[in-house]
């Protein structure tokens, strides 16, 4: 049975395309071939070209690694230590939230006036 592919929403595809363009621009600015970037990222040349094309098949981790290698700021943050700070803040915030979400029981009393 063939794998079913759900189309991406247009703005998500646009974002992937922009991300690929930024990676390509960074690679060209450094005067690296796709093969050289692939070697630095330990991926295939086809993976680099696919990422630069904004393909949905490129793994997020690979896209981030390629972006970092060519100097594209991740989440728009130039300072790498800021990413670690934001990660820690996110962990602290998530620790305050419930570990799971439960649906209200059917037939519950509606006391919203």
Q: What does the pLDDT look like over 7-31, one tens digit per residue?
A: 899 999 999 999 999 999 999 999 9
- In a domain, residue 1? The reply is no
- List, as one string, the DSSP characters of the chain: -PPP-PPPPHHHHHHHHHHHHHHHHHHHHTT--HHHHHHHHTS-HHHHHHHHTT-TTS-HHHHHHHHHHHTPPBTTBS-HHHHHHHHHHHHHHHHHS-SS--PPPTT------
Provide the percentage of residues in the chain whose pLDDT is more than 70. Answer: 94
CATH number, residue 67 = 1.10.260.40
How many CA atoms are closer than 13 Å to the CA of 91, on its beta-carbon side? Answer: 6
- Residue 32 belongs to what domain range? 10-96
- In a domain, residue 87? The reply is yes
- Residue found by looking up tokens 């690296």 in the block: 32
- In a domain, residue 111? The reply is no
pTM, full prediction: 0.81
Counted domains in the chain: 1
Per-residue confidence (pLDDT) for residue 105, from 0 to 100: 76
Per-residue confidence (pLDDT) for residue 12, from 0 to 100: 94
pLDDT confidence bin for 109, thresholds 50/70/90: low
**What is the pLDDT of the chain when averaged over all its residues?**
92
Phi, psi for residue 55 in degrees, rounded to 5: -70, 140
- In a domain, residue 83? The reply is yes
């Amino acid at each position: 049975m063939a794998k079913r592919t759900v189309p991406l929403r247009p703005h998500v595809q646009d974002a992937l395309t922009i991300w690929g363009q930024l990676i390509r621009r960074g690679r060209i600015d450094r005067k690296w071939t796709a093969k050289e970037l692939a070697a630095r990222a330990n991926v295939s040349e086809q993976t680099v070209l696919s990422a630069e094309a904004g393909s949905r098949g490129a793994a997020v981790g690979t896209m981030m690694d390629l972006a970092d290698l060519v100097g594209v700021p991740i989440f728009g943050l130039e300072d790498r230590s800021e990413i670690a700070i934001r990660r820690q803040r996110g962990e602290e915030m998530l620790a305050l939230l419930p570990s799971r979400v439960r649906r209200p029981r059917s037939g519950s009393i509606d006391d919203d006036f």
